[in-house]
Amino acid sequence: MNKLIRFLPLILVFALGLVLYRGLSLNPKDIPSALIGKPMPEFSLTKLTDESTTVTEADLKGKIILLNVWGTWCVYCKYEHPYLVDIAKSGRVALYGLNYKDERIAANQWLRDYEDPYVFSIFDESGRLGVDLGVTAAPETFVIDSNSMIRMKHVGPIDTRVWQDKFLPMIKMIENEQASAQVSNQVKGMNSDD
């Protein structure tokens, strides 16, 4: 017992060292989003391409919705752009854009110069919707399910690796949930037929 107490400081120092060593490999910029599991915030803004059309959260339709925050001022948005085009073409998700703190003319030019992967882009010049979504910079991408619940947020650009490691597991999870919900609904329907 006495011997154990003698070693106690050494053990404590090692424990502290381990904790601090773990801290070295953590990214302090990795801030968990406060909006996971919460519904998509309400908004009423114009479409980027058409300033006379107002869109709201009800206009984001799809089984799985990806909301990509972008801006012409954002360097990494250009980097992730080809990946977004591929994702939109795959048809597995509905990709919407949130044009964040940008100029309408420049942003529309950007979409013409490259390619517009979005169903439509919401024009958020003041960054108000950005604040409601807890956006800190672009690019950021939200995964939203058909109940308009925010399921995941990714800070930084999307590329093949991020897509496979982070997005696909979440998308598969939501797809499975939706499939099982459909089955249980069908079972309910059959029971009510009897």
Partner 1 sequence: MINSIVKSIILILFTYVISTSSVIASSVDTYQFRDEVTEKRFNELNKELRCPKCLNQNLADSNSPIAADLRREVYDLLHQGKADIEIMNYMVERYGDFVLYRPRVNSLTYILWFGPAILILMGVLVVVFIIRRKPVERKEVELSKEQKDKLNALLQEQQTKDKK
Q: Which residues sit at the interface with partner 1, rule CB under 8 A? A: 28-29, 31-35, 101, 126-127, 130-137
Output the smallest distance, CB 34 to partner 1, in A: 4
Question: Alpha-carbon distance 84 to 154, whole Å?
Answer: 14
Question: Phi and psi for 72 in degrees, rounded to 5?
Answer: -70, -20
Taking the C-alpha atoms of residue 166 and residue 65, their distance in angstroms, rounded to an integer, is 15
- Considering the complex, state which of residue 16 and residue 168 has its C-beta at the smaller distance from partner 1: 16
The H or E element containing residue 54 is strand 54-56
Least distance (Å) between residue 146 CB and partner 1: 23
Quickly count: other Cβ atoms within 10 Å of residue 117's Cβ. Answer: 22
Q: Closer to partner 1 at the Cβ: 45 or 93?
A: 45
Shortest Å, Cβ 135 to partner 1: 8
Closest contact distance (angstroms) between CB of 109 and partner 1 is 21
List all residues 6 or more positions away from 3 whose beta carbon is below 8 Å from its beta carbon.
none
Closer by beta carbon to partner 1, 117 or else 157? 157
Considering beta carbons, is residue 5 or 190 the nearer one to partner 1? 5
Closest CA to 150 of 59, 33, 56, 31: 33
Strand order in the sheet with 94-100: 54-56, 44-47, 121-124, 94-100, 64-70, 140-145, 150-155
Least Å from the CB of residue 134 to partner 1: 4
CB nearer partner 1, residue 74 or residue 93: 74
